Amino acid sequence: MTPDEEVAQVLDAVAQMRARHAAFNVASLGIRGDQFHPDVQARWDTEGNLTGIDIAPNALRDYTNLELEDIISDVLRRTRLDVGEKFQALFDRYLGFDSPSFDPEILGVPMSPLLRNIAGS
């Protein structure tokens, strides 16, 4: 392989990694946690930060303050874990070269030979 061919291969791999990262970032914006309670819903961003919590107006009269505290704590814990698991699964598909769920063709084009070598496929 000539030096120019080696450079072209590296540039192709870099372009594909950038495309993988961009596609992963776009896909991660769509991650939502499941609803674990009908009256309380929590929202998290991809950094693991709580961005909002919705509490149905009826929850204030349907539950005691201690019950509602337990419900909120449970929803926060469960949705954070859920979002984290979904984020990790998405990462594995796009960028987890050593993951069994890694998808080398997720961009719809064959993976560059250099990346395929790195991924061990």
On the question of pLDDT at 118 being above 90, the answer is: no
Q: Is 49 part of any domain?
A: yes
Closest CA to 85 of 30, 29, 33, 19: 33
Q: Is 88 part of any domain?
A: yes
On the question of pLDDT at 107 being above 70, the answer is: yes
Tell me which residue range forms the domain holding 64.
32-119
Q: Is 20 part of any domain?
A: no
Total domain count, the chain: 1
* Res 85: pLDDT: 94
Q: Is 10 part of any domain?
A: no
Q: Is 3 part of any domain?
A: no
The pLDDT tens digits of the residues spanning 43-94 come to 998 788 999 999 999 999 999 999 999 999 999 999 999 999 999 999 999 9
The pLDDT tens digits of the residues spanning 3-34 come to 999 899 999 999 999 999 999 999 999 899 89
Q: Is 26 part of any domain?
A: no
Could you tell me the pLDDT band of residue 114, with boundaries at 50, 70 and 90? confident
CA–CA separation, 22 vs 36, rounded Å? 30
* Res 106: pLDDT: 94
